Amino acid sequence: MPANELETKINALISEIESGLLEDKINTTIPHVALDYQNKLATYSSTAMGLIERLDTLEAEFFVNKRPNFKSDTAVNKAWKVSKEGIRQTFWSNRISRMKILIKTLEKTFYAGRDEAKQKTLN
Mean pLDDT of 12-28: 93
At residue 119, the pLDDT reads: 85
CA atoms within 13 A on the CB side of 29: 3
At residue 33, the pLDDT reads: 92
Is residue 82 predicted with pLDDT exceeding 90?
Answer: yes
At residue 120, the pLDDT reads: 83
At residue 28, the pLDDT reads: 87
At residue 58, the pLDDT reads: 96
pTM for this structure?
0.84
Is residue 2 predicted with pLDDT exceeding 80?
Answer: no
Mean pLDDT of 32-37: 93
Under 8 Å between Cβ of 76 and 66: yes
Mean pLDDT of 51-71: 95
Nearest one of 27, 17, 23, 32 to 100, comparing CA atoms: 17
Under 8 Å between Cβ of 88 and 3: yes
Mean pLDDT of 14-33: 92
Is residue 3 predicted with pLDDT exceeding 80?
Answer: no
Mean pLDDT of 61-85: 95
